[in-house]
Structure 1
């Protein structure tokens, strides 16, 4: 009989979480290796900030974080020179978090790292396997995003 640890590792949800964590760390390693120091928590901003800038509240909501926690992440990114706060041209009371030139370059390094990881997945699974994985994940994510009360029994 498998041990509790083995059962936990064999759980699909646990495996997806582990893959997410491992790939996230590989992305951070690639970006840091390209000369853009950061922490995994910074991906909460880099993964969703709009090129024209985003409000802190939108970033927090998108990352499922409190505005206070997101504010701390943004402050770290400001200190590193990746983002800055600017007045929102559509609302004088609000601020936008906007990428600096260094922030854009950091995102470019992240995108290059992701392309390399995509190539690694294709090498490992083959083109057909990679396409099947994408199809299955797309279906899973579309289903998971719906209200659980709307799912067929």
Structure 2
């Protein structure tokens, strides 16, 4: 009779990676479920874009991507009607990536989804546990 191998202890980095992936997919599922089709990679734009618009190079730098890769994401989001390219009023040679009204609605759906995830974390961990999780993550982030 064969035995199952002993369960491997997962390291902290792997656990954080799993949590990041799971949360990213839950956010996309919530946004898509609200009627805004997109891919997980599109969050690289939505997380970086400023209300007044952003240059492609700034979006790419903020997401730690090449401008070419960011340009592909912006093209996809433009095709979906979430963003548009406009002339930059401070530099006629440059373009600003700005949200369309549909893009703003998509971000609102993302914020609503994130609020639901935050509420779930509180239900699972309790208010004190959620606060402690936030404190510990903040401490880790501040250490870098």
Q: Same fold per TM (> 0.5)?
A: yes
Q: 1:35-54, aligned counterparts within 5 Å?
A: 35-54=35-54
Question: SS of the residue aligned with 1:54?
Answer: coil
Question: 2 CA distance for matches of 1:58 and 1:142?
Answer: 23
User: Over residues 4-60 of structure 1, what are the superposed CA-to-partner deviations in whole Å (9 max), with x where a residue is unaligned?
Assistant: 9824xx110110011000000000000000000000000000111111111100110
Question: 2 CA distance for matches of 1:71 and 1:128?
Answer: 42
Residue 34 (str. 1) matches residue 34 (str. 2): yes
Question: 1 CA distance for matches of 2:45 and 2:57?
Answer: 11
The unaligned stretches of length 5 or more in structure 1 are 145-153
Question: 2 CA distance for matches of 1:4 and 1:74?
Answer: 46
What is the root-mean-square deviation of aligned Cα atoms in Å?
1.3
Q: Would you say how many aligned residue pairs link Structure 1 and Structure 2?
A: 140
- TM-score normalised by L of structure 1: 0.89
The unaligned stretches of length 5 or more in structure 2 are none
- TM-score normalised by L of structure 2: 0.94
Question: 1 CA distance for matches of 2:60 and 2:17?
Answer: 21
Q: Which has the higher helix share?
A: 1
